[in-house]
Every structure is written in structure tokens, then in C-alpha cells.
Structure 1
Amino acid sequence: MQHGKYRFIAGFLALPLAVYAIFVISPFVQAFQIAMTDWSGLKGAAKYIGFDNYDKLVHSDEFWNALKHNVIMLVLVPIVTLALGLFFAFMLNVGGRSRRGAVVTGVRGSKFYKFVFFFPQVISITIISVIWFNIYNPDPSDGMLNSLLGAVGLDSLQSAWLGEKSIALACIMLVMIWANVGFYVVLFSAAMASIPRDIYEAALLDGAGRAHTFFRITLPLLWDTVQTGWVYMGIIAMDAFALVQIMSVNMGGPDGATDVVPLRLYQTAFRDSQFGYASAMGIAMLIVTLLFAVLTMRFARRERIEF
């Protein structure tokens, strides 16, 4: 009976696993193979060169500049995004004014606010990039941000934004945070809804404030969700291709201030026709992403709290 059950399960899994192996695992394996060649992308033109692409990568200032920007995103974007997601979700679900009888309530209209926060998730990343590109437009008459600053008498704060080397990367990271924070508001709200209200009400009866309740009750009970979200946001931060390609000046400018590894990979492969070198960049990205995921899961691991 058990043997027949396993054969039945294997029969259902065979086709999906085969499709996954062909379209996901196989390209990864081929990337390792291509990274060992000098290949222009033309069939039959690949030349085996061993680890020369990796040696070139290690000595490339452009690659290290792009990787530095990815690491900055990897550190800052997940922290800010998850912190804002937790804060907004907590205030929407536990931040209501009514405390009669130590009853925990959400804010009035919380469902509407969740919809507003989540709305950027249903918009294409391309549309988001175009919208914010126009918001950052340095022309005071066309750029929304500079127009707004001029209208309220803050002309001194007007800037070229994406054309300013010192703040261009920060402007793009701000868009990345704005585009993703709504997802975590909804995710953390769903996780908070599973926490028994009795726990909050008991804490309120003991005189606990909102800050104390958040750090002693909400955050520990949501830690598994936060940990998973951290890895997911790290993967997003290691990408950033679409935002940088569309929003940045001359794709990665000004003067390489917003260059990232995925954009460098794209240009190396499809502009310079160096597919072997680009594959080596892809392998480097894979290693950094896996290292980040492993370290996050290792050092953010806590004892699971049951409730």
C-alpha cells in the first residue's frame, strides 16, 4: 500500500521536476560551463579559456564598483523596508485608540490603508521606474519633486537628483523601498492576525506600552516571517536591474554612481558580446546571494516561540 502511494506521488511530481530541471537547473549548469569560455554568443565560436574570466573579474574596477553598490543596497534596503513594513503593520493592527477594557483594535479604515500600501505591488516595475523618473526630473517646470519644492518656497533643496552623483543611488534605493514596503505591510499584518489577542490584552492590563508590546511580543512572534522577508529583500537588492536601467543617467551613471552587477552583466553580454565574461559575473552574483542567504539564516536564527 505504501509502495503504491509513493509511486502515485512520484508520477505526479515527475513532469514538474523534469520541467524545473530543464528550464531552471540546466541554465545554471550551462552558466558554469560558459563562464570557462571566451564566447561571443555565436554557435560554435566558444573557446575554452579556463579561469581567465574570473581572473579578469577580480581585476576589474568596474565590476567592484558595481558590486559595492549592490552591497550598499543589500545592507540598507532590507533594513529600511522591513522596519517600515513592521511599523506600519503594527500601527494598522494594534494602533487603534480604543482601549476600553484593554481591548486591542486596529486603526479605523485599516483595510483601505493596506490596499493603498499594497497598490505599488500590482504596478509593473517598468511603470514604477518611469513614474519616478519623471518625479525626479530636474526641470522645475516638469519634474514633480522640484516643482513641489519650488511651490512651497524650498528652492534651495531643488536638485538634479538622478544626475547628482552623490545622491543618485540613494534616489533609486528610495524607489525600491517604496515599491516593496507595501508587500511587507500586508505580509506582516497577516502574520499579526494569527497572534492571539489575549496576549496583547494581558500585556495592556499589566501596563505595557506600544513600544514595549512591539519589541517583547510582536517582533519575537513574527521573527520567522521577518527572517524570510530579509532573504527575499536581499535577493531584490542584489538585482535592481530594471530600476537602474530605466532611471539612471546613461545606464549606470552619472560616472558609474548607480552601476550594479546585473546591469554590468547585461551590457557585457548584449552590448560587448562577451557572454563568457558575463556568465562569470552571474556566477559571482550567485555566490554573493547564496552567502547572504546562508549568513542571514544562520545569524538571524532564534528559538521558535509557540503560541
Structure 2
Amino acid sequence: MSTRITELFGIQYPIIQAGMIWNSGWRLASAASNAGALGLIGAGSMYPEVLREHIQKCKKATDKPFGVNVPMLYPNIEDIMDIIVEEGVKIVFTSAGNPKTWTSWLKDRGITVVHVVSSLKFALKAQEAGVDAVVAEGFEAGGHNGREETTTLTLIPMVKEQLEIPLIAAGGIATGQIMLAVMILGADAVQVGSRFVASAESSAHINFKNTVVDAKEGATQLTLKELAPVRLIKNKFFHEIQALYEKGTTKDELIQLLGRARAKKGMFEGDLEDGELEIGQIAGLIHDIKPAAQIVADLVKEFEQALISARQIKIL
């Protein structure tokens, strides 16, 4: 299965395991890479030296390519970037910031750079900044999201129409059938997040994993647009946010309610009431917890079966 992305990263399948905070540690990244995908360590929830430990353990656990996802709003980003270079990481996905800030610095040090965007406008800005590829993430995605609320089905062909560099689709992708659909629309690969949350190797708390498995249609909603849009499961914390909106809230009130470490409390420590539970709409199609290798194998098998079916009914 060869695409511009498999060639860029030297991987077997055009599948990226998303670098999600509190979920994507070295165990998940190495397992995804060993299965033929590109595993990503999520630096957003790690202190610099914790990230160094995860990179070192990942290098011992796999001889395949892997990368690090870095939200550029991270307060210790200079230390994070230095550690990435010192540890010899060759692939970096940046998000939540201006790609011009770090792209040239990373590429000058021999690192392949990918930037995550939620709109055509920012995809073109990332290309102009010199990134090697773009992840275009639709409104369906979990975690932090775009204010435009553009769906993956709409975003991918819009970006493909004008982008010259490789394109990775994200948001609402958890099956091989959906993978085939977005690649028909122009993507060179897919980035999968929520499906890997419910994996054996994810560092998420088992309470959170089980909540994802139990989620049904309508279980999530995008909120907190005044701060940073985020898609959350509708738990007690979410309803407290909505109560503030109903009475007419201010940005300061939202910040006070959010407090500190809500995401850690929910996803990593398993507090299903007062924690922040970030997951995509596709959770309604996730019904079990599997090893990462099985998730990759299922995606590939479903993709190939969907391709055969499409050809039999002369779609392709």
C-alpha cells in the first residue's frame, strides 16, 4: 500500500496513530509503528524529561519510524524541541500554533515536519511555511478542534484542490471503509485518534476507555470555543460548562471552571464526573478495546475489502 505518505515516512501502511495527550505514550506509539503504521508520542501532556524517557523507551521498543506530536502552545516548547533533536527523533507533527515558528528550525536539523490544521486557509499557510505534509482535521475529531466546524467530508476535497504537498485526513476515521472514503477524496493517508484511545497500549485510564466503548451517537459535543474548541463526552463537567453558557458566561468564568489538570483527571486518572473526557464523534462506532496491532490490521483488512466491493459495483 504505497502513497506519498508511506514514502515520506518509510512506513508500510498510510495510517498515522495520533499523538493524543494522556493517551499516546511510548507503548502505544511503538506498538502502532511495529504494526506498520506511524506511531506518535503525544508531548502535550509531558514534562520535558518525561518526554525524553518516552522517546528513549520507544526507540528500544521499535526499530520502525515513529514521531512526536508537539502542541506549540506548550510552555516549555524550547526544551521539548531540544530534547527531540538530542534524542534523534526524525518526524515531528506540530499543532495549535503558527507553523512558521518551528518548521525551518526543525527541517534545518533533518527532521520531517507535519502540521495539523482545521481549514484550507491554515493548510496553505502551513505549506507556505515549508512543512512536508499537512493533517487536515475535520469537525468530527476529538480533543481540540477548529472554530470553523468544517467536516472531514468537506475539508479534505477543499484542501486537496489547492494543496501540493501530501495530505493526511483526520477526524471521524476509525474503520477501513472510512479510510478508503477519505483517500478517494484525495488524502494520501489517515490519522486515527479515537480508535487508538480504546487500545490495550493506550495510557488512558480503563474507566475512560470503557466510557469510549459505551459511547453512542450524540455522546459528544464541541464546546469552549472562547478558549480553545474541544469535543467532550457529555459528563457532569460538560453539563457544568453548559450551565454557564445558559446563564450567560464570561471567558474568565470558563477559565475558572476549567481550572487545571481537568484533562489529566478525566482521561489519565479516570474521573468520569469531574474530568475532561476528549473523544471524537466516531466513538459511537468503537465497541471494544483491542491491541494496537489488531486495530491497524483491521483498518487494512476493512480498507481492502471495501476497495474490492467498490470495484465489484463499478464505483472504482
TM-score for the superposition, normalised by structure 2: 0.23
- Which structure has the greater CA radius of gyration? 1
Q: Where is the strand percentage greater, Structure 1 or Structure 2?
A: 2
Q: Where is the helix percentage greater, Structure 1 or Structure 2?
A: 1
Q: With CA pairs under 8 Å and 6+ residues apart, which has the higher RCO, 1 or 2?
A: 1
